[in-house]
Amino acid sequence: MSICDSICLLALLCQTIFHTSIKIQSNVIHQNFYIHAIFCKLDMYLIHSMSAFSVWCWLTLSVLRYVAVFHPLKYHTIWRQPRYALGVLASTSLLLELWIPLIVSYDVKNRSCSESPDVISNSVVRTSHLLDILLSYMFPAFIRILLDGIVLSRCYQPNANEFPPVVLNRRHGISAPSGQAANDLVGEKAYLLVTINRSRGSISYKREQFVKKKNAMIMRSLTISAINLCCNLPSHVLRALWTLEEEPQIIPAQWMFVLEAISQLLYFGQFTCNAFYLSTTIYETSNPVKTYSTTIAPSRNNFSKIFDDDI
């Protein structure tokens, strides 16, 4: 995600510099038309392909979050599978955006990169735009909302992370084992019960703190993911409107100018959102939290073997 965001920002910067340098020139040098056209094709291709790959990276994070919550053992045993999945998604994004260089060219009259209507028919261009919106935003966004909603409901489900009650086996309460007095057994069981209650109190507190920290991290990740979806939504909605819009325009030009400015502002805001997620969740360094399984093992070793079946 950090690599594709950096490439996308660099491509946007190059496009800004290119348009600014072209428009401040008094005369357009027509001999550089092919160089400008190649730049427009490559630059727009990088912007679209890297943006699509970034959205699919968010979907991969949602899938990993779902696996970590519902299949923790499987989550800790996967090694290179996420890397292979990212490789497949990157290749797919690059292939699906190959139609961009076919329709983008340099417009000498407006001195900008724009679609060339002479290359492909209007209906094909519209279909390509709608399929691109569907595959690069709507489809992954729907799966992200579904998986993140399931994770959110699971993490805040009542009694989801409580311990099962410790029940002592009652068969020794009726008759003592052979060779041992009943009074001694009752005393040992009472001492064991007190020890177990104390251990469970300490374990429950540590587990409660661990669960709170885990839920806080998951909630933070889900919040950033939702903000990312909201930042991308206006630009795709405007793109769909421009694709389906017929003459005369449904939205007045002055309102369209304001909406375009807001959508561009939110679109650039997603990069800040991505950086915040990477710095606070992925790159965050903290001491590993000990779970209850590492705490209960020493306490069991102190108990007598005759009570192994009772715990």
- The residue whose two tokens read 């630059």 is 43
Q: Are strands 112-115 and 104-107 parallel, antiparallel or unpaired?
A: antiparallel
pLDDT at 97: 92
| Interval 142-166 mean pLDDT | 72
Of the candidate ranges 66-70, 89-93, 110-114, the one whose mean pLDDT is the lowest: 110-114
| Interval 159-170 mean pLDDT | 46
Task: Please say whether the beta carbons of 124 and 38 come within 8 A.
Answer: no
| Interval 286-305 mean pLDDT | 41
Distance CA 192, CA 168 (A): 10
**In the beta sheet, which residues pair with residue 112?**
107
pLDDT at 192: 61
Model pLDDT for residues 3-29, shown as the tens digit of each residue: 888 999 999 999 989 888 877 765 555
Whether residue 274 is predicted with pLDDT greater than 50 in this model: the reply is yes
Task: Please say whether the beta carbons of 69 and 218 come within 8 A.
Answer: yes
**In the beta sheet, which residues pair with residue 104?**
115
Whether residue 297 is predicted with pLDDT greater than 80 in this model: the reply is no
| Interval 218-246 mean pLDDT | 85
Task: Please say whether the beta carbons of 256 and 210 come within 8 A.
Answer: no
pLDDT at 21: 83
Its sign, for the CA torsion 300, 295, 207, 65, is: negative
| Interval 98-112 mean pLDDT | 85
Whether residue 56 is predicted with pLDDT greater than 70 in this model: the reply is yes
Distance CA 86, CA 53 (A): 9
| pTM assigned to the model | 0.71
Q: Is the peptide bond before 177 cis (omega within 30 degrees of 0)?
A: no
Question: In the chain, which ranges are continuous DSSP H helix?
Answer: 2-23, 33-70, 72-77, 81-96, 100-103, 122-133, 139-155, 171-174, 182-244, 253-277, 292-301
| Interval 22-37 mean pLDDT | 70
Q: Is the peptide bond before 140 cis (omega within 30 degrees of 0)?
A: no
> Which pLDDT band, with edges at 50, 70 and 90, does 215 fall under?
confident
Task: Please say whether the beta carbons of 11 and 53 come within 8 A.
Answer: no
Whether residue 93 is predicted with pLDDT greater than 60 in this model: the reply is yes
Of the candidate ranges 55-69, 83-97, 146-160, 246-260, the one whose mean pLDDT is the lowest: 246-260
Task: Please say whether the beta carbons of 61 and 225 come within 8 A.
Answer: yes
| Interval 120-148 mean pLDDT | 88
> Which pLDDT band, with edges at 50, 70 and 90, does 285 fall under?
very low
Q: Which residues contact 166 (CB under 8 A, 6 or more apart)?
A: 196, 200, 311
> Which pLDDT band, with edges at 50, 70 and 90, does 181 fall under?
very low
- The better pLDDT of the pair 207, 148 is held by 148
Give how far Cα 263 sits from Cα of 63, 149, 253, 256, 278, Å.
28, 26, 15, 10, 23
pLDDT at 307: 32
| Interval 292-299 mean pLDDT | 40
Its sign, for the CA torsion 203, 206, 212, 218, is: negative
> Which pLDDT band, with edges at 50, 70 and 90, does 276 fall under?
confident
131-149 in b/e form (b: 16+ CB < 10 A) is: ebbebbbeebbeebeebbe
- The residue whose two tokens read 């709507």 is 138
Record the tokens describing residue 4, joined without a space. 């594709």
Where do the domains of the chain lie?
A: 1-121, 161-311
> Which pLDDT band, with edges at 50, 70 and 90, does 190 fall under?
low
- The better pLDDT of the pair 191, 48 is held by 48
